[in-house]
Structure 1
Amino acid sequence: MLTEEGQVLSCGSNSFGQLGVLHGLRRCVVPQVIELLREKIVCIAAGLRHALAATVSGIVFQWGTGLASSGRRLCPGQSLPLFLTAKEPSRVTGMENCKAVRVLAGSDHSASLTDAGELYVWGSNKHGQLATQAAFLPVPQRIEAHCFQNEKVTTVWSGWTHLVAQTGENAAENLGLVRVIGTKDFYW
């Protein structure tokens, strides 16, 4: 839960550290403040076994070990970044020169939209939702602009195994290009 003051509270199962609380509880029925997120948070997202937050300054944090098992299996011998294995909020590396305005999570993938209209993705690509040939992306990778007919992405949504991206300057009046990225790609 995201409060008006920009604090994040979490409750539920914590089997994979997806609550981001320090206590190491297996589950929590009373919402707990995630203390390690000290800067104001503007957007949060929850996947199956991981969660994300974007700060007012555009930094992305991730916690929960849900993506780590897929990463170890699909990238054998490769060390995984800390944010994929952390049970507390850990800064997502690879987006240092970007300002995130939105974060998203699917069952086994993550995404972030920047203020420049760029879409970054990481995690499992089992259903083609990351628009790459790689089976798993351990760090954020920008989806190339040509995938969106060289237009900026104005908003994005995540489903369990897919992403929906919309382009266009005035989304309320003109949908622009809407692309579903996943098992099959659709355009409108």
Structure 2
Amino acid sequence: MEEVVSQFIALEFTMKSLGVRSEKVSPTISSFFENVQSIAASASHSMVVKNEENGATSLWTFGLNDYGQLGVSIPETEDELSIRLPDTRDQCTQSSSNLDASSAQPLPSDAKNESRPEGGSENQKGDPEKGVDYRLTPVLVTSLSKHKIIRISCGSTHAAVVTDQGKLFTWGQGIYGQLGLGAVLQRYTPYEVTTLGSEVFINDVQAGSFHTAIITSAHSLYTCGAGTHGELGHGDFKNLYYFTMVSYLKKLKIVQVSCGRYHTAAVTSGGSVYTFGAGEHYQLGHGNDLSLSTPKCIDIFKRIKAKIKQVSCGAYHTVSVSVCGQLFVWGTGKEGELGLGTQNKVATVPTLNDIHHDMSVSKAYASDGCTMVISDVGKIWAMGANAYNIFDQPTDQRAD
């Protein structure tokens, strides 16, 4: 329930990012979302998993669908279902030179001439002349109705889910390889990732802005997608179009991972935190602004004997929670997302944020310019940018 309450606030941000202005700008109970199992949201789209009476689950999505990230478009032909680049693994491990990264639009010379599916649903609210496709109310992803979903995650323009059978499905934009399906530029409906083999059971998935990470039942970490900042952790700055094990961590048991805009953080079974990727905003927590293409352990946690149980990556900052309920923050906090006061807008290493001396933190979530914290007694604390009235009420809220 804690995760549902904390991420529900992100859903409201999604709706407001679409230009939807509701009179109820504070968290409001939705009768539609009864029996909610989990929620995921990005700045453009959201996903909600509901538990059904028969023990099954249903996945509902809403928000922008300009890259098929809602998983509900129905192309007229198979060619429109998936746009692909030439599919060779040698080419897929390189940074593609014929993609326009600034506009995020595919520019392959031999790509199929594909037109975006036209919506015929009453729920589709868009501007056909501008090619805008979005849904203002939740729609059911019918292609996953036969699967029981246990994990979900939203990237900037892609989505991923894990089933109780350890299967991974991805869809949306794949221009950087973030779908893990090879040289697929875009998929409008969920597609199973099978390149790891049937013997690999997937426990968790986390989508960053343009990259994706998964944890297997063997506690191995795999990544794919944009790697130009080193966020994939493979020792280079290349994009990867297939999930590849982070070999630098293969001797460790990874129990949790979080993907930010351009960086990644992983927690081991021993409570250590490894970070890699962009570091120009000190979001890696190593005391400098260097970017890293291989995972590096944050030493300060060992020195202060703090074991970490959870980590969350925002755009330019990172937060973590220790097994003792302590909150640590680091990175850039120009919007107040570190919660360290107006005089402390940068933390180069993990810094204790003692919100209240008598409060123990259960979980913390970092986003683009803001942070949500949940105490062990169900209180929600928020800090950072409030451009969309994300925390319209006082920041001390109880998650009843």
TM-score tier (shorter): 0.7 to 0.9
Distance 1:155 1:29, change over 3 A: same
Q: 2:266 is matched with which residue: 162, 165, 171? A: 165
Aligned to 1:153: 254
CA deviations on 1:119-140 (whole Å, 9 max, x unpaired) are: 1111110110101225111111
Cα distance in 2, alignment partners of residues 81 and 181 from structure 1: 24
Larger Rg: 2
Shift of 1:22: 2.9
Q: Specify the code of the residue in structure 2 equivalent to 1:19.
A: L
Aligned to 2:171: 63
Q: Spell out the pairing of 1:49-128 with structure 2 (5 A cutoff).
A: 49-65=157-173, 67-68=174-175, 70=176, 80-82=182-184, 85-96=186-197, 97-128=199-230
Cα distance in 2, alignment partners of residues 143 and 108 from structure 1: 17
List structure 1 runs of 4+ shifted beyond 6 angstroms. none
Aligned partner of residue 53 in structure 1, secondary structure: strand
Shift of 1:111: 1.1
1:187 and 2:288 equivalent?
A: no
Aligned partner of residue 85 in structure 1, secondary structure: strand
Consecutive unaligned residues of structure 2, counting only runs of 5 or more, are: 1-47, 75-116, 120-132, 279-290, 299-400
1:141 and 2:188 equivalent?
A: no
Q: Specify the code of the residue in structure 2 equivalent to 1:3.
A: K
Cα distance in 2, alignment partners of residues 91 and 81 from structure 1: 15
Aligned to 2:134: 27
Q: TM-score, normalised by structure 2?
A: 0.40
CA deviations on 1:48-69 (whole Å, 9 max, x unpaired) are: 110000011011000002x22x
Aligned partner of residue 48 in structure 1, secondary structure: coil
Q: TM-score, normalised by structure 1?
A: 0.82
* 8 Å Cα contact 1:93/1:139 also seen in 2: no
CA deviations on 1:35-54 (whole Å, 9 max, x unpaired) are: 11121010011101100000
Aligned to 2:81: none
Cα distance in 1, alignment partners of residues 69 and 213 from structure 2: 16
* 8 Å Cα contact 2:220/2:249 also seen in 1: no
State the structure with bigger RCO (CA 8 A, min sep 6), 1 or 2: 1
* 8 Å Cα contact 2:68/2:186 also seen in 1: no
* 8 Å Cα contact 1:93/1:140 also seen in 2: no
Cα distance in 2, alignment partners of residues 58 and 64 from structure 1: 20
Cα distance in 2, alignment partners of residues 151 and 110 from structure 1: 19
Shift of 1:81: 4.4
Shift of 1:162: 1.4
Q: 1:41 is matched with which residue: 149, 154, 161? A: 149
Distance 1:158 1:120, change over 3 A: same
Consecutive unaligned residues of structure 1, counting only runs of 5 or more, are: 72-78, 169-173
Aligned partner of residue 49 in structure 2, secondary structure: coil
Cα distance in 2, alignment partners of residues 33 and 95 from structure 1: 28
Distance 1:162 1:134, change over 3 A: closer
* 8 Å Cα contact 2:233/2:246 also seen in 1: yes
Cα distance in 1, alignment partners of residues 207 and 164 from structure 2: 19
Distance 1:93 1:155, change over 3 A: same
Percent of aligned pairs with the same amino acid: 29
Shift of 1:149: 7.3
